[in-house]
Structure 1
Amino acid sequence: MNNMTAPHVALVAITKHGLARALALLAQLPEAHLVVTEKFAPAIPPALPNPVKILSGALSGHMADLFSNYDQLVLFISLGAVVRLMAPHLKSKDEDPGVVVIDDAARYVIPVLSGHVGGANAFALHLAELLGAEVVLTTASDVGKTIPVDILGRELGWQVEAPKINITRVSAHVVNGEPIAFVQEAGSRQWWTRPTPLPSNIHLFDEFEKVDLSSFKAVLWVTRREISASVWEQLKERLVAYRPPLE
């Protein structure tokens, strides 16, 4: 799942007001599917162009299917209920779909699951813009307006290369404002897309050899070079590399 270039989107509504909000949103999301319980099936306009899935029985019995068949799940259901519904089906951020919760009044849009890798944060921002709603982001890199280590450069075709523990450790150093060496030897320079300045703890270099490794908690390295095992060992859990496509 998690194919954000052509997402499979499901808008899930199990209340009267939730269905009304979902129908209004569907007009702006021609690719999205509508998922409702049998109780509200008669309220669906017959000329609705979007695909419709009618659920028999409780929503909980259909969550596994929804998790398997959609990249983005948008649920017009309370946050607490959504947490309980999805808990038995969680695997990993590399496999789980993005999950976004919208309240019945469409005042708040909350990405709940797979905010970065699954694209829920980006999709929630898009939905909030369509609805004129407020998006509620809780991921540290978004709140702190700093580098999202796990998806940096994804829109530019960069591929992250590092053990998962490195991504976790380096992300913590980044959001905690510790000194980070950002080494860019290849790829587009248009990787910083936030309207705010680059955080002061991120220090830019154009060559790895220019970095005094003892002065930095972590290194983000954009390169096409082969990185030796000795360098990975030297930096242990402090290095994340990015591989840009050939230009």
Structure 2
Amino acid sequence: MNTVKPESIALFCLTPGGITLAKRLSGLLPMTCFTSQNLLEPGFEPFDGSMAHTVADLFADSSALIFICATGLTVRIIAPLIKDKFSDPAVVVIDDQGHHAISLLSGHMGGANALTRYIAGLIGAEPVITTATDVNQLAAVDILAQQLNATMTDFRQKVKTLNQMLICGRNVGLYWDPRSLATAKKRWSEEQVDTRGLVLVSDLDPLPELDALLYVSLHDSVPAVPIPVFKLVPRCIVAGIGCKRDTPLSTVARLLKQQLAELHIDPLALSAIGSVAMKRDEPALRDLANQCCVPFDIFSVERLKPAAAHFPVSDFVARIVGIGSVSQPVAWLMSNGHLIGDTLRTQGVTITLGVSC
């Protein structure tokens, strides 16, 4: 997911006023500034042929682009490069006198709205935000998902549907599943997330008058209620996995799915897979992480030893790896000691699940 990182911000300017403003901004926020050859000063990089060519080279690898120029020019330059709001960088446009900062692209998922407000605060500009949920003082479901590090099936379409319902004044409820979130030691308060416009629901029986329900849960099921339910799944489940060399991917994937199902955990809740360092190149584990679109974290034996002391010892594992177990200490470290369920041990594979809090 695209997020604004200061070290990957690129700024483009074309006028003396833009140079002056770029100097102010670059002294307050880390970025790389580009301008034309005839305006080049220390601290600026020259365009590679033209501004359009330079932007094209940097667009995919930057988390944010700042243009000090006309909005129309910016639109013409970035139009051929735009893909979607889940991968495009934040784009902010500022006039060269610093009167207005405009969030132009990827306002929510890319962070352009937040960056626009921040820049406006730095230079005393008026922030211009046009996303409907923001101007109507409503929560945006995609921002709520970011705040919770959560996702849902068919994310794009469902976010669009829910945000549109909120904008149109429909009653969308928000319910935190106390079963799964209590088990996960995972709770969020109103102060931690944006819930403006959502109807906070504390009890599903009786259900208040709603048009839809946003159901935040780790569970693999949804409540039987007479309205559309949109399940938002926090990604906070980690899996420590050990396996024999050259175990097939299909075997490990099936067993992980089985382990999640036994605990009634939605597979979307998986946030990372981990193992011991000697398994860094184990094809099944690397491919499984790629298949699940999660990081593959590895841990040295020395780092695992203190945690491994808490778990039963397998002489075979101790002889091969140097510690008596793999999946349990890995999951222990990844979850800060919050393990859930029993360790699965079968077919040369061990899987331990935890909740990262």
Same fold (TM over 0.5): yes
Q: Name 2:151's counterpart in structure 1.
A: 160
Q: CA deviation at 1:7?
A: 5.2
* 1:65 aligned residue (54, 57, 60): 57
* TM-score normalized with structure 1 length: 0.83
State the structure with more CA Rg: 2
Query: Which segments of 5 or more consecutive residues in structure 1 lack a partner in the other structure?
Result: none
Asked which structure has the greater RCO (Cα within 8 Å, sep 6+), the reply is 1
Q: Which moves more between the two structures, 114-123 or 59-68?
A: 59-68
Q: Name 2:20's counterpart in structure 1.
A: 20
SS of 1:150 mapped into structure 2: helix
The residue identity in structure 2 corresponding to 1:16 is P
Q: CA deviation at 1:198?
A: 3.7
* 1:87 aligned residue (79, 90, 99): 79
SS of 1:178 mapped into structure 2: coil
Q: CA deviation at 1:140?
A: 0.8
CA 1:88/1:79 → structure 2, altered by over 3 Å: closer, same or farther?
Answer: same
8 A contact 1:109–1:133 mirrored in 2: yes
The residue identity in structure 2 corresponding to 1:226 is D
Q: Name 1:204's counterpart in structure 2.
A: 200
1:7, 1:162 → 2: CA distance? Answer: 32
CA 1:134/1:225 → structure 2, altered by over 3 Å: closer, same or farther?
Answer: same
* TM-score normalized with structure 2 length: 0.59
CA 1:7/1:154 → structure 2, altered by over 3 Å: closer, same or farther?
Answer: farther
**Alignment pair present for 1:181 and 2:180:** no
8 A contact 2:145–2:232 mirrored in 1: no
After superposition, the CA RMSD in angstroms is: 2.6
Q: Which moves more between the two structures, 86-95 or 2-11?
A: 2-11
Q: For residues 6-65 of structure 1, what are the alpha-carbon distances to aligned partners after superposition, in whole Å with 9 as ceiling and x for unaligned?
A: 551111111111111011111101x21111121211xx23xx4xxx43114321222221
1:84, 1:61 → 2: CA distance? Answer: 12
The residue identity in structure 2 corresponding to 1:38 is Q
Identity between Structure 1 and Structure 2 (%): 27
1:225-236 maps to which residues of 2 (within 5 A)? 225-227=219-221, 235=228
SS of 2:96 mapped into structure 1: coil
Q: CA deviation at 1:224?
A: 1.7
Q: Name 1:221's counterpart in structure 2.
A: 215
Q: Which moves more between the two structures, 185-194 or 131-140?
A: 185-194
